[in-house]
Amino acid sequence: MTVQPRTDPSPETEASIRDVPRREVTGAWFLMAGYATLLLGMVWDGQWHGDVGPDNFFTAPHLLLYAGTGIVGLTCLTVVLLTTWGGGAASGTPAVTVFRTFRAPWPFLVGGLGASGNLLYGGVDLWWHDVYGFDIAVPATPSHLGLGLSIQVEIFAMVMAFAVLRRTRAQRWGLALAVGLATMGSTSAFGMVSELVFGWIPGIAPRVLGLGAVSALMLSLVVGLTRGARWPAATGLVFLAVQGALALFAPAATRWYAEAIGQPMRDYARNLPQSLIGFPATFPLVALLAAGAVWWAARRGTGPVGVTAAVGAVAGINAALFYNVVGMEMNLLVTLVAVAGVGAGTGWLGWQCATLLRRFGRFDQIGREVAA
C-alpha cells in the first residue's frame, strides 16, 4: 500500500512507536553533543586554514574535533555494554551480536565504527603532516578523505539514533536538530567524494553536485521519518541557527587563538565566516518549500515518492544557483540539469532510507507499511 504524508502523527501512530530504553535515549543526546563538539572543531579548523594557515595535530581546533569523536566513541561503548548487561536482545532498537558476546544497537555500532575510523585516520593525519608539512590540507589526501568518510559515518549514526526517538515532541525536535547538524557537517565527505567521482566531467562543479545531494537526502529523510509538514520547516530553522552560531564563533575564535599563540593572520584574511559559503545559506528556504510540498501532498493525496524526488531536485537546483552567485566556476545550464537529476535521485533514496529507519522504532505491525 502507499503511505501518504500526514500533517502530524496520529495518536494511533504514536501508540505503535517502540518504548526505547533510557540508555538509548540518553545515548542519542550524547551522540549529538559529541558530534556538535566535533562540528565546532571542524568548522573552526577550516576557518583557521583560510585566515591563518600553519597548524599541527595538537592545535585547539583539532583537539576540539577529536574531543567530539571521543565523546561519540565512549557513548557508543557505554550503550553497547549496558545493552549487553541489560538484556538488549529482548528490548530496544534492533541489535547485532559482536564477537559472540556484545549486543550492539545498530546506531551505536555504526557510531562506534565511525569514531574508531576517525581516531585511526587522525593518526594517519599526524603522520601525513609530519612528512608533508603542517600547512597542507588538500581535501583529497588519503588522511583527509578517510577523516571525512569516518565523520560521515558518525553523522549517520546520530541520525539513526534519533530516527528511533519520535514518541515525544522533544524527541522530534531532537531529530530536527540532528538533521540540521548533519546537513552542515556533511559538506566535507560529500564535497570530497563528489570531486573524486565527478571531477572529470567538463563544465560541472563537482562540489555543487555533492552539496545538492546532501540537501536532498537530509530533507527527504526528515519528510520520511516524521511524515509531517512542520518538521522540514523546523529543520530549516535549526539549520539557520546552527549556521549562524558557527558564523559568529569561527572567525572570533580564530583571531583570538592566533593572537594567543603568536601566529599572524594572513595578509588577505578578511575575518569573514567561511561557514556561510561552506553550505548554501539558502537551504532554509528549500526546507520551507519542502514543508509546503508535504502539506500540499497530504491534502491532495499525492504519493510521497514523487514529492520527495521533486523536493530533492529543487534542493539541488538551489545549490547550483547559490554557488553560481558566489562565483564558483561552472557551466550553469549543464550543472543545473545534472544537479537536478542527482537531487531527485537522492531525494528518492532518502525516502527509502527513512522507511527502513522507521522500522527500528516501531512494533512488528510496521512491517505492513511499505513505500510506493
Domains of the chain by residue range: 18-165, 186-372
Identify whether the C-beta of residue 344 lies closer than 8 Å to the C-beta of residue 309. yes
Task: Tell me the pLDDT tens digit for each residue of 95-107.
Answer: 788 888 888 888 9
Task: Tell me the pLDDT tens digit for each residue of 14-35.
Answer: 444 556 788 999 999 999 999 9
Task: Tell me the pLDDT tens digit for each residue of 63-98.
Answer: 999 999 999 999 999 999 998 887 654 455 677 888
pLDDT at 138 (0 to 100): 53
Give the whole-angstrom CA distance, residue 236 versus residue 219. Answer: 9
Cα-Cα-Cα-Cα torsion 278, 210, 183, 355, nearest 10 degrees, comes to 170
How large is the angle between the packed helices 169-185 and 22-51, nearest 10 degrees?
Answer: 30
Share of the chain above pLDDT 90, in %: 48
pLDDT at 362 (0 to 100): 55
Over residues 147-166, mean pLDDT: 90
Residue 296 to residues 291, 292, 302, 369: CA-CA distances in angstroms? 9, 6, 8, 22
**CA-based diameter of the chain, in Å?**
65
- 131/272: higher pLDDT: 272
Task: Tell me the pLDDT tens digit for each residue of 289-335.
Answer: 999 999 998 888 777 888 899 999 999 999 999 999 998 989 999 99
Which of these ranges, 3-17, 43-57, 237-251, 352-366, has the smallest mean pLDDT?
A: 3-17
pLDDT at residue 179 above 90? yes
- 156/364: higher pLDDT: 156
Task: Tell me the pLDDT tens digit for each residue of 324-353.
Answer: 999 898 999 999 999 999 999 999 999 999
Task: Tell me the pLDDT tens digit for each residue of 254-293.
Answer: 999 999 988 888 877 777 888 888 899 999 999 999 999 9
Give the whole-angstrom CA distance, residue 147 versus residue 145. Answer: 5
Give the whole-angstrom CA distance, residue 62 versus residue 90. Answer: 40
pLDDT at residue 9 above 70? no
Give the whole-angstrom CA distance, residue 18 versus residue 364. Answer: 10
Q: Collapsing DSSP states into helix, strand and coil, what is residue 168?
A: coil
